[in-house]
Copies of this chain bind each other. A is one copy, B any other.
Amino acid sequence: MKIGVVGLGLIGGSIFKDLKKLNYNVIAVSNSQCGEGIYKNYEVLKTCDFVFVCSAMNKTLEILDKLEEILPPDTVVTDVCSLKGFVSKKARPYKFVPSHPMAGTEHKGFENSFEGLFRGAKWVITPVFGEDSRLVELIEELGASPVITTPEKHDEAVALISHMPMVIAQAIFKTAAENPLALEIAASGFRDMTRLAMSNTEMANDMVQINSENIQISILKLYKTIGDLTNSDYLEQINEIKLNRQSWG
């Protein structure tokens, strides 16, 4: 099986390195990287059986369109965007199975990509145009566990666990930064809590624009929870939260 990777950032770079390690015949298309098996021209993807599209979210639709002119109908294509609704609106002449690996760090780019990034991670698949066992097999070979759901449920869930928390982390940092003593004495808890504020800003902006409705709903749900927490039996509630957090991991 010949595999193509479009875009060699943190995710694409890590997939590329992993697949090489697994001895796949893998090639990449990248604007910014050079090296063995890395090309500028999309034409090289013509002979691939499988293509991972790992470009910036705001470039992904354009690339999925471009691939329509290049790939034969039996090529399997997945994208790795952290939102799944906007890519799932139209079927493609190739076998398109949108997905989202739940892995990453606060550092972006090929230079921060590494073998093993997906080990132990969940990898969401939203097979609106049909499933394909090759995607599931590749995900498992990368060490991740596939989770199948709809684009709508995915986009709602990531608003709760990723996009809303990122906006809150940014807001917590900005709020605390207005008090010079606060930043001077802040320690590891504050560092952990605000690490999400360091997310790739281009990606953060894309997420907040595209998923704004779900993020707004999540923020309102958060406000309601904060009200409940601080207005009724706090100790009882945090004991329960702690137990749930412990059993979650």
**A164: CB under 8 A from chain B?**
yes
Contact among B161, B178, B215 for A190, CB-based, below 8 A:
B161
Q: Chain A 152-179, CB within 8 Å of chain B: the 1/0 string?
A: 0110111011101111111111111111
**A232: CB under 8 A from chain B?**
no
Inter-chain CA distance A193–B195, complex, in Å, is 8
- Closest B residue, CB atoms, query A194: B245
Give the contacts of A102-157 with B (CB-CB under 8 A): 102-105, 121-122, 124, 147, 149, 153-154, 156-157
Beta-carbon contact of B104 and A187 below 8 Å: yes
Beta-carbon contact of B226 and A168 below 8 Å: yes
Beta-carbon contact of B197 and A176 below 8 Å: no
Interface size class of A (residues with CB under 8 A): 35 or more
Inter-chain CA distance A248–B198, complex, in Å, is 12
Contact among B165, B174, B226 for A193, CB-based, below 8 A:
B165
- Closest B residue, CB atoms, query A186: B161
- Closest B residue, CB atoms, query A183: B248
Q: Which residues of chain B come closer than 8 Å to A195, judged between CB atoms?
A: 189, 192-193
Known: A168-B168, A248-B183. A196 touches B189 (CB 8 A): yes
Beta-carbon contact of B187 and A165 below 8 Å: no
Q: Chain A 182-223, CB within 8 Å of chain B: the 1/0 string?
A: 111111111111111111010011001100100110110111
Beta-carbon contact of B244 and A173 below 8 Å: yes
Contact among B160, B162, B216, B223 for A189, CB-based, below 8 A:
B162
Inter-chain CA distance A197–B164, complex, in Å, is 17
Beta-carbon contact of A182 and B157 below 8 Å: yes
Using a CB–CB distance below 8 Å, which chain A residues touch chain B?
Answer: 102-105, 121-122, 124, 147, 149, 153-154, 156-158, 160-162, 164-179, 181-199, 201, 204-205, 208-209, 212, 215-216, 218-219, 221-223, 225-226, 229-230, 234-235, 237-239, 241-242, 244-246, 248-249
A-B contact pairs, 30 of them (CB 8 A): A104-B188, A105-B188, A122-B184, A122-B185, A122-B187, A154-B181, A156-B179, A160-B176, A160-B182, A161-B187, A161-B190, A162-B186, A165-B189, A165-B193, A168-B168, A170-B229, A170-B237, A171-B225, A171-B226, A175-B222, A177-B248, A183-B248, A186-B248, A189-B195, A192-B193, A192-B196, A193-B193, A197-B241, A201-B235, A205-B238
